[in-house]
Structure 1
């Protein structure tokens, strides 16, 4: 295991691909912080989203409890003999990493028993069975090798749910591929990851009290992305706002792109908008959530989207 953040992750970008390509089951907590330039030490998802296609499993955590629980489960998932892939456990810089909140710890003995003993596969130090790692692979096999990486990724969701079920038996805390909040009968929905989900839930409660049928979907596992499961959870809503705490300059936000991909399998596709928020640690405030919900309600009523991508909380 190791841990990193922001420029430290960027400095070792080459190693991310090598760790995934050589099937090393590393667990790496990633404290999500902005990337330079300009220089900034505060939280957004630029680092994690920049690494989303390196072949690592990615989990995003709303709070310290989720970061703790996700890290424990990540060891079992990464080391599973059907997976053997590295995993990032992401949490918002400063908002989660430097805050004090209550966390229910698990006894060390129970954690060790849950994680189990590490089983080395094809260890380099086995002198009786010499191995070669990272050899040159040219056009005759490289394409097939990369397809094999994708095929392993398709097995991850099932293992995540399997491990989550065991974790729930031990702790009573339930985890899936994503979390839904008041989504069952919702007509409009917000999709947002990590700590901003908490603020959004509070505003959703207020709007529910006013009779607005709004819900939330919070992805937990971002890579591999559970396209069909997300589509099934959102297929009944009329309008969706996807909030990204990272930008894709010249394109839509990373999370928005995944949700639009999921929506392709829906028979009736909802109207969708993309909001970029909280870059460089800019606070995500209740009035921003209210702005998004008001716009969603209007879209659901009229069926008209004025602007797909918009930056919220920006000083003009």
Structure 2
């Protein structure tokens, strides 16, 4: 049945359902909290005969990504899921997957990296892998996790891109939180993503070699081609979002602008905290404060000129990072945003806030503190660039 239907699902079950509807050739995965449910649900679909996917239960996350790379190189449509230390254990093949231009799609369920050991949500895992060559698309809620996963397949497999994609969503908050959402029909999803076509692989009419030694004669050129795939991805992401919008009515872009048109003060944030931040914006607006929000969806490739345009009239801006770069110069999102807005608008205040590490709760009041701080900074004409929010100093 192709009609969309309203259901109540957790983020993990929604993503596993998207995988079932797409029906990849291979899924290789190893369990780690809080992503375990994705391969767990999917293995049930395999066992029940709902999909014909080859499910490979491996002995580690390193093996999971290695199996994904091998299957993709053989011409298969491939998917996996992981979190936190599991992503870290994939580190070596993570880079190999991108450099071999393998269009693997991964559910990256955000969880704090050890140590100390922590199973709760922050973005230290995927942000640590931000320069691995994977596209990164972040989700605010269950609906977005489902929608982003379906779109990611079409983006990854586009011949102008041919790069792997992480679909990121917040551990426990989104992965285990049950929300109302709209589910597409399986045939509609299959039609949207299309048939998987490997333009080159280990097998078939045009066999290719993978993983060969690449000396200084060609390595640089291959990296430049890889970078071009990331550059091309911007156009493909927007085209795919427009096509998806036609069948769902849900509009996606590089980021969402929330009451930003006339905003004097604004926050840039990623993931589930955007929902909390929107409530803060609404409450501030009721008191006549011109607050706005930019919720970033696509972090890689980073939409720098588009961000700069959206924030050009904002007087003061706070960028919230749910991870720390430990460089003493702010978080990774802050650095990208500040670089993007550099030269756009005289004397713009741009502040970095590290927040929510290890699952520390973020409240409407704490977000409102950030906005009121920006007001004070405008009035004072000076500010602290690097800040921590909600921590005992």
Q: TM-score, normalised by structure 2?
A: 0.78
- 2:172 match: 94
**Are the aligned partners of 2:330 and 2:353 in contact in 1 as well (CA < 8 Å)?**
no
- Is 1:280 paired with 2:358? yes
Measure, in 2, the Cα distance between the counterparts of 1:252 and 1:108: 43
- Is 1:247 paired with 2:324? yes
Measure, in 2, the Cα distance between the counterparts of 1:90 and 1:24: 18
Alignment of 1:213-252 (within 5 A): 213-250=290-327, 251-252=329-330
**Are the aligned partners of 1:235 and 1:268 in contact in 2 as well (CA < 8 Å)?**
no
What are the ranges of 5 or more consecutive residues in structure 1 without an aligned counterpart?
Answer: none
- Is 1:8 paired with 2:86? yes
Q: CA deviation at 1:113?
A: 0.6
What are the ranges of 5 or more consecutive residues in structure 2 without an aligned counterpart?
Answer: 1-78
Q: CA deviation at 1:268?
A: 2.5
Name the one with the larger strand percent.
Answer: 2
- 2:144 match: 66
Q: CA deviation at 1:300?
A: 2.3
- 1:155 match: 232
- 1:168 match: 245
**Are the aligned partners of 1:235 and 1:269 in contact in 2 as well (CA < 8 Å)?**
no
- 1:55 match: 133
Structure 1 counterpart SS, 2:257:
strand
- 2:112 match: 34
**Are the aligned partners of 1:21 and 1:149 in contact in 2 as well (CA < 8 Å)?**
yes
**Are the aligned partners of 1:228 and 1:265 in contact in 2 as well (CA < 8 Å)?**
no
**Are the aligned partners of 1:16 and 1:54 in contact in 2 as well (CA < 8 Å)?**
yes
- 2:45 match: none
Measure, in 1, the Cα distance between the counterparts of 2:97 and 2:262: 43
Q: CA deviation at 1:265?
A: 4.3
Q: CA deviation at 1:134?
A: 1.4
State the 4+ residue runs in structure 1 displaced beyond 4 angstroms.
none
Q: 1:267 to 1:200 in 2, by over 3 A?
A: closer
Q: CA deviation at 1:301?
A: 2.5
- 1:75 match: 153
Structure 1 counterpart SS, 2:125:
helix
Structure 2 counterpart SS, 1:246:
coil
- How many correspondences in the alignment? 314
Structure 2 counterpart SS, 1:240:
strand
Q: TM-score, normalised by structure 1?
A: 0.97
Measure, in 1, the Cα distance between the counterparts of 2:379 and 2:245: 40
Structure 2 counterpart SS, 1:243:
strand
